[in-house]
Amino acid sequence: MDKETIIESVARALESWIRHAGAAQLWRVQQQGSLGASIVVEEDLVHVRVELGGPRNPLSELGRTDGRLPVTEAFLGNGAAAASWGAPPPQGDPAREAWFLSSELAQEHARQYLLAEVREKREVLSGFVEGWLAGR
């Protein structure tokens, strides 16, 4: 199995995980990073399972914003979208998590940010796969 095929499988698994992640999972990724993946190759099939937690690895920092809002907030503009965003509590305020968990728009922007990171940071995926190949 070649490296590029495995990288593409990891990317697809990450994208699927992001689309289906719950609000609390997205919050954890924003706060701590913590993404990981397990890879199993059986003949010509690659199986990738995205996980939260586990040992630090190159994927661990994807999506981490340390509680800052994703950059997509800047593109909300005026009007109904801006009104529905609501004013988030200040960074570091314990109420910020509750605000995020109740805001579908904030969660959607977190998904967009994380998807963009997966697509733009191919070197991170490559480093993860290289480490996995070296440890096989």
Task: Quote the pLDDT of residue 74.
Answer: 42
Domain ranges of the chain: 3-135
The closest of 53, 30, 41 to 100, measured between CA atoms, is 30
Say which residues have a Cβ less than 8 Å from residue 85's Cβ, sequence separation at least 6.
73, 76, 103, 105, 106
* pLDDT digit string, tens, across residues 12-67: 999 999 999 999 999 999 998 899 999 999 988 999 999 998 888 999 999 888 76
Over 60: is that where the pLDDT of 82 sits? no
Alpha carbon separation from 68 to 43, 44, 88, 126 (Å, rounded): 43, 41, 10, 27
Per residue in 96-136, pLDDT (tens digit) is 899 889 988 888 988 999 999 999 999 999 999 999 999 88
Residue 78 has pLDDT above 50, yes or no: no
Residue 35: enclosing H or E segment and its boundaries?
strand 35-42
CB atoms within 10 A of CB 43: 6
